[in-house]
Amino acid sequence: MDTSQNHERVGNEDRIHKAHYSPPWANTSFIGVAGSSGSGKTSLAYAIIRELNLPWVVILSMDSYYKRLNPEEVKAAFANKHDFDAPEALDFDCLVQNLRDIKTGQKTEVPVYSFEKHARLERTTTIYSPHVLILEGIFALHDERVLDMLDMKIFAEADADLCLSRRLVRDVRERGRDIEGCIKQWFAFVKPNFHKYVEPQRNVADIIVPRGIENKVAISMVSDRVYKTLTQKSRMHQLELKRLGKYSEDAPLSPHVTTLDASNQIRGINTILMDPVVDREDFIFYFDRLVTLLVEEACNIGIGFMPHTVSTPVLGEKYAGLCSDGEVSAVVILRGGSCLETGLKRVIPDCRTGRMLIQTNARSGEPELHYFSLSPDISEHKCVFVLDPQMSSGGAALMAVKVLLDHGVKEERIVFVTYLAGRAGLGRLMAVFPDIKVVCVRVEDDTQNDRRWVEDQYLGC
């Protein structure tokens, strides 16, 4: 990771060159599983997932990429006269673009194809942040552009009679076809295309797996290889975070970081919150009060306003005021960020909120994205608050902001709201994303103490 951050003078402004940050899901590991129709490719892919037992593995079926059919082709498809088993039937350009998006850590929309209707549906399936993707399909190892992106190439091998029987059961049960039509399609298209297009893919495969899910040795070999790759990527990610932290140790605090003025009220509330014998009711009341002040300050620096005139209750009197220039929303970092929602709702009662679950792996110390739910139109919001009561190393904050950017939110529209921030964590965050804004109550130099006592006190009551 290039952690350089230089300044250059442009006119009357200082331009900051951002330090680079790659999330753990960048450079996703791709596994291709090809084989004849009915050879057990999907079952093999699911067996690999079960063996890995990781939450960041997805299966991408090439069945999603059948091309849109014109009326004549649809009519032929219903009569079992359209060739779905030739490479020309698939939209490889769309597949390659989706894979490239995923490889670079971006969100991508995968088409949905209906075999019952022989049509591509209007809706899509979103894929984002997998660490491992298994591409399965009869032509998973066919296109050179796809082959260049695959980290492991597998060919599933099975007896032809077994493949035919599996295809018959699947097409009759799941796709509403009759046995006669399935057999007709098999001998007209599936079998000849297997010898012409599918079987040659054995020559480029790294592993040929006979007997499908019964081949425990092959499945174990694949999972071991993936584990080693993910472990190496995890170590590189942690190393990048350390390098970034080392660079930002002596850097001055960014002007985009705002701390609440140390007024007597703020110091008094902090005194109550820091007291280990504070009553439960007092802790909740004063913490909510402090959060309200935090959100108000976040509104002052993050929300834009435009002129708006209203008619007052006094007849003929109008007031020339201001209103927000767009929607404001928030993203709560679970589970600690939930304690900031009460203060948020007191300031913006109708604020829409999303969720992210980012937890630090106790074994490796690496932040992990387990879950996220964001508004579909979040990229159009004028301001997005990220709520987390404590930022220590900055790893989770970096991950949260990267997720928002990947979903179209502009960097300058993000306001990170936190009670306690470590100086090293702030340095990392602002070095990578210098245009975001941070609002906090306190900034601490001690970054070694990673105990989230505010969260435990508040949520444990």
Confidence tier at 247 by pLDDT (50, 70, 90): low
Instruction: Average the pLDDT over each of 172-181, 270-279, 299-308, 348-357 and give the range with the smallest value.
Output: 172-181
pLDDT (average), residues 150-177: 80
Q: CA-based angle 225:20:371, to the nearest 5?
A: 60
- Interstrand relation of 305-311 and 318-324 (parallel, antiparallel or unpaired): antiparallel
pLDDT of the residue at 447: 44
Q: Which tokens sit at 401?
A: 């902001």
Mean pLDDT estimate for the chain: 84
Side chain identity, residue 373: S
Question: 363-391 pLDDT, tens per residue?
Answer: 666 778 888 899 989 999 999 999 999 88
pLDDT (average), residues 430-458: 70
pLDDT of the residue at 454: 47
DSSP output for 296-331 = HHHHHHH--EEEEEEE-SSTT-EEEEEEESS-EEEE
How many helices (H) and strands (E) would you count in the chain?
14, 19
pLDDT of the residue at 22: 72
pLDDT of the residue at 365: 63
pLDDT of the residue at 249: 66
For residue 367, give the nearest of 403, 393, 329, 337 by alpha carbon.
Answer: 393
Q: Furthest-apart CA pair in the chain: how many Å?
A: 87
Q: Which tokens sit at 453?
A: 């006592």
Instruction: Average the pLDDT over each of 10-24, 48-62, 140-154, 172-186 and give the range with the smallest value.
Output: 10-24
pLDDT of the residue at 11: 40
For residue 95, give the nearest of 45, 51, 60 by alpha carbon.
Answer: 60
Type and span of the H or E element at 387: strand 383-387
Q: Which tokens sit at 346?
A: 């007191």
pLDDT (average), residues 18-32: 78
pLDDT (average), residues 110-123: 88
Question: 208-227 pLDDT, tens per residue?
Answer: 988 778 888 988 888 888 88
Q: Which tokens sit at 108?
A: 């991508």
What residues have CB less than 8 Å from 90, skipping those under 6 apart?
A: 62, 65, 66, 67, 137, 139
| Domains by residue range for the chain, with CATH | 29-233 (3.40.50.300), 254-459 (3.40.50.2020)
pLDDT (average), residues 102-108: 87
The pTM is what? Answer: 0.76
Assess contact for 234 and 360: CB atoms under 8 A.
Answer: no
